[in-house]
Amino acid sequence: MTAWLIALAGGVLIGLAATLLLWLNGRVAGVSGIVNGVIFPKREDTAWRAAFLIGLIAAGGLYMALVPGAALPRTDYSRAGLIVAGILVGFGTRMGNGCTSGHGVCGLGRLSLRSLGAVLTFMATAIMTTFVLRHLWTAT
């Protein structure tokens, strides 16, 4: 299979996973919100969130470990860069109530204008950041 076809199939699986959670549990598959709900539990809603995360971590890890040619994570990025990026992602997804999955996959699936606003914004700043770090920063 060609790369774009595998990517498309992976995307459809992500969409099916989100549909399954909404259809059966009535919940939005927004990963940042689910993590937040497990770390800072409020009500009785911790069990399904923990189950979702266990499934994601275990199955994602197993796929990468077992399937030849799977996209393995990079290993050599600077520790400081990872920490700064992680803090911004954690803070930003809480302030904006969602990430690529919640606003992107689920919000756009509901044709939410609010989510479209969020998606266009984070795509724009992510593209700008990549541009600065790859083409301006290194050039100096």
Partner 1 sequence: MAALASGALFGIGLAMSGMTDPRRVLGFLDLFGDFDPTLLFVLGGAVMTTVVLFRFVLRRGSPVLASTFHLSNLRHIDRRLLGGAAIFGVGWGIAGYCPGPALAGLGIGSREALWFVPAMIIGMLLHRIVNRS
Q: What residues from 101 to 130 belong to the interface with partner 1 (CB under 8 A)?
A: 101, 103-106, 108-114, 117-119, 121-130
Kindly state the smallest distance separating residue 50's Cβ from partner 1, in Å: 8
Location of structure tokens 């904006």: 96
Positions 76 through 95 that interact with partner 1 (CB under 8 A): 77, 79, 81-95
Positions 23 through 42 that interact with partner 1 (CB under 8 A): 23-29, 31-32, 35-36, 39-40
Cα-to-chain-centroid distance, residue 70: 18
Kindly state the smallest distance separating residue 140's Cβ from partner 1, in Å: 16
User: Is there binding between residue 4 and partner 1 (CB under 8 A)?
Assistant: yes
Specify whether the CB–CB gap between 64 and 71 falls below 8 A.
yes
Residue choice 68, 75, 139, 140 for contact with partner 1 (CB under 8 A): 75
Count CB-CB contacts under 10 A for residue 21. 18
Any long-range contacts for 13-19 (C-beta under 8 Å, 24+ apart)?
14/101, 14/105, 15/105, 15/109, 18/101, 18/105, 18/106, 18/109
User: Is there binding between residue 63 and partner 1 (CB under 8 A)?
Assistant: yes
Residue choice 68, 74, 139, 140 for contact with partner 1 (CB under 8 A): 74
